[in-house]
């Protein structure tokens, strides 16, 4: 039973946080980035960053930072990017962290961006390696949607499969994944110097993250979790489920209307 109670508390907190961020969508971004494979860097250095995208939850306005855009701006041939990569990456990350510095207090909704291999710490570390001074986003302003879905729907909400939960839950919900690559495909595209392909994947993924976030908040997200997976068997779970159901909400609305009509009719007959 203690684990059931913990599950209930964790689920309630995840839903409350989700709703809070949606209510304050004007101060929240979805964020994703791409990099070379952190498994294939044989010299021990940190993976190079190739593209970062952010999408404001309130209006869909998207901001992006990428190696190929900078190279094009400077007039470099795309084939020559490897020779300028360090300078381009430093400038891209400098622009990114300047952008982040403009939005203190904002929340950043992400998908598994949480450690020094792939996460905010990885971006910060990479910029430091290149001689920069990164803006540090406070941990409480980072919202991992991947973990939130597990808290709300349980680990059984979707399978990993060969392509991971992210793409699988999008396909289950008919969320457009055009141009989106798996992590392995992005790393392969990076190695092949297909920087535009990687950038398009990053842009698409912030769109996908936003749609998942919105559907999870309005409870329209489809999952493969059973009722028991989501709610468990503890009596408190049953009460929570009833409170969240449309049936309960409808009964409450009808009761309110009936009560108001009763008062109006009582006043009317009293006047007569």
pLDDT of residue 79: 87
Q: How many CB atoms lie within 10 A of CB 193?
A: 17
Axis-axis angle for helices 2-23, 145-153 (nearest 10)? 130
pLDDT tens-place string over residues 55-92: 999 999 999 999 999 999 999 998 899 999 999 999 99
In this structure, are residues 263 and 271 in contact, taking their beta carbons and an 8 Å threshold?
no
Share of the chain above pLDDT 70, in %: 82
Residue 185 has pLDDT above 60, yes or no: yes
**DSSP characters over the chain:** -HHHHHHHHHHHHHHHHHHHHHHTGGGEEEEEEEES-SSS-TT-PPPPEEEEEEEETTT--EEEEEHHHHHHHTT--GGGHHHHHHHHHHHHHHHHHHHHHT-TT-EEEESS-BSSSSBHHHHHHHHHHTT--PPPPPGGGEEEHHHHHHHHH-GGGS--TTT-HHHHHHHHTT---TT---HHHHHHHHHTT-HHHHHHHHHHHHHHHHHHHHHHHTT----S--HHHHH-SSHHHHHHHHHHSHHHHHHHHHHHHHHHHHHHHHHHHHH-
Axis-axis angle for helices 145-153, 165-172 (nearest 10)? 60
Task: Quote the CA–CA distance of 215 and 207 in Å, as a whole number.
Answer: 13
pLDDT tens-place string over residues 203-213: 999 999 999 99
| 3-state SS record for 46-75 | CCCEEEEEEEECCCCCEEEEEHHHHHHHCC
Lowest-pLDDT range of 1-5, 154-158, 204-208: 1-5
**Which of 29, 35, 28 has the alpha carbon at shortest distance from 92?**
35
pTM of the complete model: 0.83
Average pLDDT over residues 111-131: 94
**Which of 100, 232, 266 has the alpha carbon at shortest distance from 240?**
232
Q: Among all chains, which residue has been given the structure tokens 């950043």?
A: 108
Average pLDDT, the chain: 87
In this structure, are residues 109 and 28 in contact, taking their beta carbons and an 8 Å threshold?
yes
pLDDT of residue 132: 97
pLDDT of residue 228: 83
pLDDT of residue 239: 58
Partners of 46 in the beta sheet?
none
Average pLDDT over residues 25-36: 96
pLDDT of residue 31: 98
User: How confident is residue 156, by pLDDT bands cut at 50, 70 and 90?
Assistant: very high
pLDDT of residue 117: 86
pLDDT of residue 68: 92
């Amino acid at each position: 039973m203690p684990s059931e109670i913990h599950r209930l508390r964790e689920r309630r907190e995840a839903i409350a946080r989700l709703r809070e961020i949606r209510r304050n969508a004007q101060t929240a971004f979805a964020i994703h980035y791409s990099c070379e494979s952190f498994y294939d860097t044989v010299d021990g250095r940190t993976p190079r960053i190739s593209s970062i995208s952010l999408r404001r939850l309130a209006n869909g306005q998207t901001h992006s930072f990428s190696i190929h855009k900078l190279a094009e701006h400077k007039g470099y041939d795309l084939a020559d990017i490897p020779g300028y990569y360090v300078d381009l990456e430093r400038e891209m990350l400098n622009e990114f962290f300047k952008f982040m510095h403009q939005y203190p207090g904002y929340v950043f909704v992400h998908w598994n961006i949480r450690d020094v291999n792939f996460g905010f710490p990885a971006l910060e570390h990479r910029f430091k390696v290149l001689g920069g001074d990164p803006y540090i986003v406070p941990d409480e302003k980072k919202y991992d949607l991947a973990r939130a879905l597990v808290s709300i729907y349980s680990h059984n909400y979707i399978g990993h499969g060969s392509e991971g939960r992210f793409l699988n839950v999008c396909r289950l919900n008919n969320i457009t994944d055009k141009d989106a690559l798996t992590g392995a495909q992005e790393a392969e595209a990076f190695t092949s110097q297909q920087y535009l392909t990687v950038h398009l994947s990053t842009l698409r993924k912030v769109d996908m993250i936003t749609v998942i976030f919105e559907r999870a908040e309005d409870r329209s997200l489809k999952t493969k979790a059973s009722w028991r997976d989501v709610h468990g068997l503890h009596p408190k779970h049953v009460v929570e489920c009833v409170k969240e159901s449309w049936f309960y909400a409808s009964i409450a609305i009808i009761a309110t209307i009936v009560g108001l009509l009763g008062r109006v009719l009582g006043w009317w007959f009293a006047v007569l």
